[in-house]
């Protein structure tokens, strides 16, 4: 199967998947929910009726995100679930392929961005999350564009600098990877992880 046909097949599959989950409930396990941000909990327990919306733990998140935005956030929590499966918990015996998980993250993020307002308070993170999946899919140009978007929204977003460095390193643009890691260190100068990454990129660059 050619790359173009494969991409079209994935697109059709993801469209169908997206349509199904648009009307599905968000029902993670207790273990999965424990790994997600606190705003995902009311989305898992049910919240969308007049009585539940008045409860303090739900009312809080409606005020933070806005009701219109919150209506779409179960898709964002689904994307975070897939992120955890892909990057933190991956086991080929129980999970789908990394490629499929990455495509699902992209699909969920696309859905959320279409539904939320332009000033959605997690937009920088949403865009980064999609870029991280695009990186796994080796769509480096698209990933770079998304990461630049994320940094335009939030210039001190360290995760975006780290991932952008990874994108450059994957394309053997080590000097750019070093620059992005140094920028990240400006915001987290004590980070041992960033220091190790910088040292590794510099070592590659000196070879």
Q: What does the chain look like in DSSP terms, one character per residue? A: --HHHHHHHHHHHHHHHHHHHHSS-----HHHHHTS-TTHHHHHH---SHHHHTSHHHHHHHHHH-HHHHTTHHHHHHHHHHHIIIIIS--TTTS--HHHHHHHHHHHHHHHHHHS-TT-TTHHHHHHHHHHHHHHTT-HHHHHHHHHHHHHH-TT-HHHHHHHHHHHHHTT-HHHHHHHHHHHHHH-TT-HHHHHHHHHHHHHHT-
pLDDT at 45: 73
Which burial class, exposed, middle or buried, applies to 110 when counting CB atoms under 10 A from its CB (0-12, 13-18, 19+)? middle
Show the CA angle centred on residue 48, arms to residues 42 and 50, nearest 5°.
115
Give the integer Cα–Cα distance in Å for 99 and 86. Answer: 9
Q: Tens digits of per-residue pLDDT, 21-52?
A: 443 467 899 999 999 999 999 888 776 667 67
pLDDT at 170: 97
Instruction: Say whether pLDDT at 10 is over 80.
Output: no
Residue pointed to by tokens 């990240």? 184
Q: Tens digits of per-residue pLDDT, 110-133?
A: 999 999 999 999 999 999 999 999
Taking a C-beta distance cutoff of 8 angstroms, is the pair 37, 80 a contact?
yes
pLDDT at 27: 84
Taking a C-beta distance cutoff of 8 angstroms, is the pair 163, 140 a contact?
no
Instruction: Say whether pLDDT at 4 is over 80.
Output: no
Q: Tens digits of per-residue pLDDT, 66-92?
A: 999 998 999 999 999 999 999 999 999
Average pLDDT along the chain: 89
Q: Tens digits of per-residue pLDDT, 189-206?
A: 999 999 999 999 999 988
CA–centroid distance for 19 within its chain: 20
pLDDT at 20: 44
- For the entire predicted model, the pTM comes to 0.85
Taking a C-beta distance cutoff of 8 angstroms, is the pair 101, 95 a contact?
yes
Residue pointed to by tokens 């390193």? 169
Count other C-beta atoms under 10 Å from residue 4's C-beta: 8
Give the integer Cα–Cα distance in Å for 18 and 71. Answer: 15
Instruction: Say whether pLDDT at 16 is over 50.
Output: no
Give the integer Cα–Cα distance in Å for 64 and 119. Answer: 12
pLDDT at 53: 77
pLDDT at 23: 38
- Considering only residues 22 and 174, tell me which one the structure prediction assigns the higher pLDDT: 174
């Amino acid at each position: 199967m050619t790359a173009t046909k494969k991409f079209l097949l994935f697109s059709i599959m993801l469209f169908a998947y997206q349509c199904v989950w648009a009307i599905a409930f968000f029902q993670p396990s207790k273990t999965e929910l424990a790994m997600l941000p606190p705003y995902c909990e009311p989305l898992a327990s049910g919240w969308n009726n007049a009585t539940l919306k008045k409860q303090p733990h739900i009312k809080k998140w409606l005020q933070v995100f806005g009701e219109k935005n919150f209506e779409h956030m179960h898709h964002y929590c689904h994307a975070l679930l897939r992120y955890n499966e892909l990057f933190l918990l991956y086991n080929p015996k129980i999970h789908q392929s990394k490629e499929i998980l990455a495509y699902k993250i992209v699909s969920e993020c696309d859905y959320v961005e279409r539904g939320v307002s332009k000033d959605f308070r997690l937009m920088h993170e949403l865009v980064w999350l999609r870029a991280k999946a695009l990186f796994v899919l080796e769509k480096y140009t698209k990933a770079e564009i998304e990461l630049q978007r994320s940094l335009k929204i939030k210039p001190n977003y360290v995760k975006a600098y780290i991932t952008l460095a990874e994108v450059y390193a994957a394309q053997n643009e080590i000097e750019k990877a070093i620059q992005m890691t140094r920028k990240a260190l400006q915001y987290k100068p004590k980070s041992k992880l960033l220091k190790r990454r910088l040292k590794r990129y510099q070592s590659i660059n000196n070879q």
